[in-house]
Structure formats: structure tokens, C-alpha cells
Structure 1
């Protein structure tokens, strides 16, 4: 575990690097004690990130003199509560944990978050190592508006990667696929229904299946929206991506896959019944847990294979922001930057509880040395960050989008024609999107 000191907690950059990246004097530090005695409230979605904060929050109080009360709520309930309170204009919290792939456009359009762009440039408020260039491209896309203004800090990212069973690959003499076509061919060779083993497993359940499918869609050259904000999920790229999805899940996946979410997919993979699985990088710890997995030490980790039009990892993530109505914005800002600090990011990734958006954390040799997961897992996260692309469109009715297109995908697993199903979903969703933008 990385030693935590005041320097590597929030400052930790070489003098020349600090000056080059920020334009501020080397080793300048914020006025950490300026808001001593202030009390802040934080609302969190339940999970490893919240656990990490609550476990170590006394360090922040020791550094700043700011007292912090935090509440973790199950994800769906937390999202609902946050929207209700922000809509009221009088939220009870000073810092909010937001789910980018669901809430970015909603928060942005409503103007619920404070603009933190100027805070980032203020040496009295911000540590010299906290710079925009340290966040992955996907993180900056999530945190910024179309004018480049930042309204949150990227916190934890979920890149989609390819998990594979090394033992099954070796048994069949199959090479790790570099392209989607190679992946289909490998899945077919690895499928032996009589033996109860299958070449591929992934989400087939309506709505949940979208996060798998978008990896194919993006790598076939798909874009969710055109320059005017019109949805683009019934074109040739979407159809071809769906044909691939359909082929994999109908010829190379376990029976009943149309009802699989990540839980069922993970179960099939950890029991050694499926040779490949594409899903979020954060699901890795159970695969290496002898109490939950039969394939400990046999798992390979790599980036999602390339498609005919590119190679991208569908990316999802979380951030932290300050309500525009907050009365303690500068104190809240100190907390936000501590939450995404190198020390907190190191703890998260070393425990396998998540992957920070900050490149300096993932590329730090000392941090890497303390990671409990296999080196291949960490490398897959680093490499995915270089090819990351948002896995869902930045729109308000994203749940309806996932429902309608997801239903089309699930229908193809029963033999329906991809082009027909996608066109139907497109026609159903288009007026929903138009109404949301006019509201």
C-alpha cells in the first residue's frame, strides 16, 4: 500500500512538472485550513468508492479542519433523492456523487452544478498536481460542457474489457483475439455444447445488454448522435454490430443468455463454463477470489478487440460535483479534490474496488506495486483508458433509450431481423428524445 503523506496526498509533483502543467509556482499548496470549522454533507451511491471515503475521511478533517457527514444510499434510490433535492433548489448536501452515463445531460441542462473551472486554476484552492490533462479523455468529456467548462471532477471509471479463460484457450489451441471477427471465430472453436462449455457470454437482458452492444457499435464506426442531436442507432453500423451481437449470443453462448445480466454472465464465466466475457473492468475481484471462483489464476485480461472502423472501450463512470445552490462552495471544492486525490485513487485501485480517471494514479510505479489484482488486469485498464469512448449517448432519457434499443437486441436473440428491430426502436425513441430537449 502506498504510504500516505501530506505531500503525496495532494501535492506530490516535481517542481518543474508543477510549473509546466499549471503555470503556478512549484510546490504551491492550497490554504487547506481556510475553512476549518465548516461542516459539509455528502450524498453517495453505495459502493466501494463511498466505503473508501468513509474509511479515510478523518485524514481530510485533519488536513483541513472541515467536518464531513456522509450518507451512502443504494444507487437507484440515491439518484432519485438527488434529483428531487436539486430540483427543489435547496439540496441538503454540499457534494454529490453523480452517475455520468445516466445523469450528465440532465444535470447540465438543469444547471444544477456549480462551475468549478476557475477553482481548478486557483493556487489558493487547488493542489498543483490536479490538472485537467491528468484525466482520461472520457473523464474530461463527462465532466465538461460543450464550451469546455468543468462542472464536476471525474472520480471512478468503468472501462469495458475482454476477460478470457486461459485454460480453455490453451486446451483448444486458440489465440487471444485482436479483432471482433477473430473473437467470433475463437468463440465458435471454443464452444462445445455437449461438454457444457461455450465460447462467449455476455448480457442479453433488455436494457442491461446495451452496455455490451455499444462496444460493437462503436467499433463498427457507430456514433449515437449527429451534429444536430438526432439519434443514429438504426444505420448500417448499428445493423452490422447487432448482427455480430446476435451471432455471438445465439451460436456461442449458454442457453438462456437472453435473460442474462452481469450477474449471470459472471457466474457462467467464474464456473469455467464460458471462455470469453466482455464487461466492466470492476468485476475482476470476484474472479480472483477462491471463495467465489473456480478459475482463480486462469483469467486473462485484455482490451476489447478492434472492429472494422476502430478500437474503443465503451466507458461509463462516476463523478463528484458541488450543487449550484451550495453555500460552502470553496470548502466543498477542497473535499472534492481530496476525493479524487492520488492517495484516494491509489487505495481504490489497489483494493480492486475501482479504477480512477486519473492517469497519474494508474501509471505510478508505487501504486502499481500495491495492486492486489493481476498485472494484466491493471494493464487492461491503462490500455482501455487510451481508447475510451462514452458507452451511451449524453441525453436525458437514457433509460428509455436503453429500454427500447435493448428490447430490439433481445428480440434478435429469438431470431428477429436486426435491421427491422432497430428501425422500430428508432421510430419509437425519436419523439421521446425530441420532447426531452424541448422541455
Structure 2
């Protein structure tokens, strides 16, 4: 995907807040009172590979800080997203990856990397006071991202890095004009969308993804509000044609058919973004990364008028928002796990995660940046943006099943959803799609 992607979160974020790093001498004196020493591996060299994104570029710009802090030399490679995913899998499979630290797209490669046990379980490293800085505070990471980075067998084989939460965007001006409250349930949102539509001004109550593959993450946002909340069961069997899955499909269908613009069947995130920033849609559920362009006064007609809220609740006992994200892992084959862990602590520590947020590099996996009053005061975003991030971090859950053939899954289920927008019966379409994909998943589970 070229240009701004939803994972290039907050590209036009607030002004940067500089958090000074201590000089090596100061660090050594401070660490003299603890078992941890940032200079323990000085003279070593590690190789790091990350995706080309504002986060990767941030690490490039600040690489010298880590080298000065630790005395560890870093060969940092920044590779475009799709190529990076392919590169690391090929190298992992070879048994001799060239890198000591890598970024892993959890929504794409988590299951593949986890089943092969290609990455080191970092829990023993975190527990080792001689290897983990006293102020690293792993408990600061959002619960949803920690769960996302943890494999089914309990191994934490990557450290949570960047998060992409699905949230509710709404046009404050349009809601105020019709005296409509911010909806807290999907039913309330549908009724609000009907009230907010103004055909005479080409304003629609809702906008959302209709395009095959891209649409699955909106359907899963509805499913996460039911009793089911997962697309595979504990036995790794596909469950995408259950009553809850059908309810999610029916909800998806009525939002796209009844309260969205004509032609939504062909909309991906970019068409949704354009429609919403032109003020022609009242509400939109999608990734947090679109906040930046929506608040860009040079591009958006509604800059300063955007409201932020957690996704509405469904009819079930659960309330989750769809989560996508990345983690940083250390290959099991690496012979430099100590220096690699030092790099991850620096890259994903409190200081740099705050800088990610305030410089526009991305949404951090940690929670403390969202409560930083200095960041909020200097930000281009309103307080409800930060409140929504913090609240979403608490209820986040994977927005796609943790399987290897995830792209095929999105294609097959996405086709069923697209057909439903065209008028097909939802239950029939989901039964057909489930039957079509089930052998694909079963073969993948046998092979991986």
C-alpha cells in the first residue's frame, strides 16, 4: 500500500517533546546502584531490520543515541512493509537470519513465527534484573497489545511496539446540529446515522469499507461486540457462520446498504477518509492512524471538528475494539540476545514511545504516553483523542484470526460480505465462505 497507510499512524502529529537521554557516564553512575548496566555489552554489534514507516525513520534518526548510551554498534535496515514481511520469513526459514532484532506484523505473521518458534521468549529477559533496566516497566504496556504479542503456548516472543486500534470518528458539527448524542451501541449508531443523513447536502450518516478483503476488519469490529469475539475456536476450527457471525454480517450489511453513500461496495480506507474529511459523512469506524490527516487543516475540511470515541458495544457481553499492530522480536538463532534486548528496551521504552506519539511516528503500545499532560497540552489533537487511545488499549483484541493464510481468509470472507451488500443472504454467504475456507485453514494447520 503506498502513501499514508493506517499503520503509518499520526504522521502529522503534535510537536515533538524532547526527552533528554543521559550521557554514558551518568548512566554508569546511576547503574552502579543496581545490577543493570547499559554499557554491559559495549563493543558489540547487532543487526536490526524494521519496516519503512515513520517509526522506522524515527529509529534511523536517533540510532546514534542508542550507540552513545550503550556502546553497541547497530546496523539498522529499513525495508518497505511488504518486502520486509517476505524477507524475514525467508531468512527465518533458512535457520540463519541475518538480523538480531526484527519488527513482526502481528496481524499477518504472528502465528507463522510462533508455531515455528523462530523468536526468543523474552519473559526470562524481562525477569532478569541484570538485563532489564529498572525503569523499563513492562506493566505500562496496554493489556490488549501484551495479549496480542503472546503466543498460544504462553511465550511472549515479541515486545509490543506499535498499535492500531479501531475507533469511532464522528463529525462534532453534524451531531451538534441535529442534537444527536455520541452513540455507545451499534443500534444507537445506526439510528443516529439515519437521523444525521441529509440527502439535500449529500451528507450520509455513516461511511465504511465495502471492498473485498478490506471490509473484513469492519465486520470483525461488529463481531467483537458479541458473545463470540473470535473467528476460530479453541480447537483451531473456523467459526465464521455462527449466529453471532451472521449478526455481525447483518449489521455490516445494513450499515453499508442503508446509511452509507452509493458505491460504498467499492470503498477502501482511502475513499472513506476522503468522504469523511470532506464533511460528507457523520460517523466512521476505522484505524486510529487516520486521525492525523483528518486534523490536517491543509487537507481536511473538518479539521478541529473531529470527535473521537471507543467503538460502540454490541448485543453480547463483550466490548472490544479491533486491534492490529507490531512487535519487536529476537530470533532464537541470534547469538547476541543480550545486546538485542538492550536495543528493544531503548527503542520501546517510555521515552521513545512518548516521542513516537508526540512526533507523529505512531501510536505506542504503552499506555503512559496517553496520560502525559505535556503531550496533551502541546498536541494538535483534542483531549478526547488521548482518552480514546487509553480506553481502546484496555479493550483491544485481535481484529483478524491468528492464522497463517490470513490474506486468503480476508479474500474469502470479504467476498461473502461484498455479496451481501449486493443483496445476497448473509447466512447463506457466510456458510459458503466458511465451507470454502475451512479446508484451507486445516491444511495450513497441518503444515505449519
Q: Secondary structure, in 3 states, of the residue corresponding to 1:212?
A: helix
Q: Secondary structure, in 3 states, of the residue corresponding to 1:199?
A: coil
Size of the aligned set, in residue pairs, is 427
Paired position in structure 1 for 2:8: none
Q: Which of the residues 61, 84, 88 maps onto 2:67?
A: 61
CA distance in 2, matches of 1:6, 1:212: 41
CA distance in 2, matches of 1:318, 1:259: 28
Mapping for residues 225-236 of structure 1, pairs under 5 Å? 225-236=232-243
CA distance in 2, matches of 1:205, 1:179: 24
CA distance in 2, matches of 1:139, 1:28: 29
Q: Which of the residues 371, 381, 395 maps onto 1:373?
A: 381
Q: Secondary structure, in 3 states, of the residue corresponding to 2:315?
A: coil
Q: Which of the residues 346, 349, 353 maps onto 1:345?
A: 353
Contact 2:22 2:69 in 1 (8 A): no
CA distance in 2, matches of 1:351, 1:3: 9
> Deviation string for 1:279-304 (max 9, x for gaps)?
11121011111111011111000110
Paired position in structure 2 for 1:326: 334
Q: Which of the residues 81, 85, 91 maps onto 2:91?
A: 85
CA distance in 1, matches of 2:34, 2:302: 49
Q: Which of the residues 387, 393, 410 maps onto 1:402?
A: 410
How far apart are 1:7 and its partner, in Å? 6.5
> Deviation string for 1:101-143 (max 9, x for gaps)?
1111000011111122111011111112334422222212122
How far apart are 1:367 and its partner, in Å? 4.0
Q: Secondary structure, in 3 states, of the residue corresponding to 1:72?
A: strand
CA distance in 2, matches of 1:416, 1:344: 49
Paired position in structure 2 for 1:20: none
Structure 2: segments with no counterpart, 5+ residues: 1-15
Contact 2:148 2:397 in 1 (8 A): no
TM-score by length of 2: 0.91
Question: Does residue 430 of structure 1 match 2:438?
Answer: yes
**CA RMSD of the aligned region, Å?**
2.1
How far apart are 1:5 and its partner, in Å? 3.5
Q: Which of the residues 31, 37, 43 maps onto 2:37?
A: 31
Question: Does residue 50 of structure 1 match 2:65?
Answer: no
Paired position in structure 2 for 1:280: 287
CA distance in 2, matches of 1:6, 1:42: 21
Q: Secondary structure, in 3 states, of the residue corresponding to 1:50?
A: helix
How far apart are 1:308 and its partner, in Å? 0.8
Q: Which of the residues 287, 290, 303 maps onto 2:297?
A: 290
How far apart are 1:215 and its partner, in Å? 0.9
How far apart are 1:276 and its partner, in Å? 0.6
Q: Secondary structure, in 3 states, of the residue corresponding to 2:46?
A: strand
Question: Does residue 419 of structure 1 match 2:434?
Answer: no
CA distance in 2, matches of 1:347, 1:186: 37
Q: Secondary structure, in 3 states, of the residue corresponding to 1:355?
A: coil
Q: Which of the residues 173, 181, 187 maps onto 2:193?
A: 187
Paired position in structure 2 for 1:207: 213
Q: Secondary structure, in 3 states, of the residue corresponding to 2:327?
A: strand
Q: Which of the residues 312, 315, 323 maps onto 1:308?
A: 315
